[in-house]
């Protein structure tokens, strides 16, 4: 990982196990429109946001209660010139004990300020991580994009 890769983090009072379980509940914080499995090593899943964003992720590293890594194996972002910009990037969730509970650090390796999608994608990730995944962990209810929203 480079210091230029997009990263956002938060600290919660919940345990590393609770954070790990929430990360793997992708439908509970990113989008209800996930297809495929999202919990175990080598699971693959796809997400689609209307005709604007499609990506397929493969879980390539899992260390329970410590780390989850997704490899983006395919992508199509129709709002940028290089629609496959995410393909080959890695999405990393690091979970670490902290004096105030647990720190969760999200990084998309390859999402750097020089890439076209950086502004839009980093803003979207900040919303999903800080305002949905964090709420799923702390309240049990995330704020994913709903199937109803995807169908409208």
SS3 category, 91: strand
Superfamily of domain 6-142, CATH level 4: START domain (3.30.530.20)
| Cβ contact 102:117 at 8 Å | no
Provide the residue ranges of all domains of the chain, joining segments of one domain with +: 6-142
Token pair recorded at residue 8: 């956002």
pLDDT of 150 higher than 90: no
Residue pLDDT, tens place only, 83-130: 999 999 999 999 999 999 999 999 999 999 999 999 999 999 999 999
Residues contacting residue 97 through CB under 8 Å, at least 6 positions apart: 16, 103
Identify the pLDDT of residue 77.
93
Express each pLDDT in 57-72 by its tens digit: 999 999 999 999 999 9
Q: Tell me the percentage of the chain whose pLDDT exceeds 90.
A: 89
């Amino acid at each position: 990982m480079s210091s230029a890769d997009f990263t956002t983090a938060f600290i919660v009072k919940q345990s590393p196990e609770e954070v790990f379980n929430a990360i793997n509940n992708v439908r509970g914080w990113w989008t209800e429109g996930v297809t495929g499995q999202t919990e175990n090593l080598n699971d693959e899943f796809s997400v689609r946001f209307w005709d604007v964003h499609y990506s397929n992720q493969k879980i390539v590293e899992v260390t329970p209660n410590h780390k989850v890594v997704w490899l983006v194996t395919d992508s199509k972002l129709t709002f940028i010139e290089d629609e496959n910009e995410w393909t080959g990037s890695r999405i990393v969730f690091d979970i670490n004990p902290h004096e105030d509970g647990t720190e969760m650090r999200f990084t998309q390796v390859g999402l750097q300020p020089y890439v076209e999608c950086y502004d839009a994608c980093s803003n979207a990730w900040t919303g999903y991580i800080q305002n949905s995944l964090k709420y799923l962990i702390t309240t049990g209810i995330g704020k994913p994009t709903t199937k109803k929203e995807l169908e409208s």
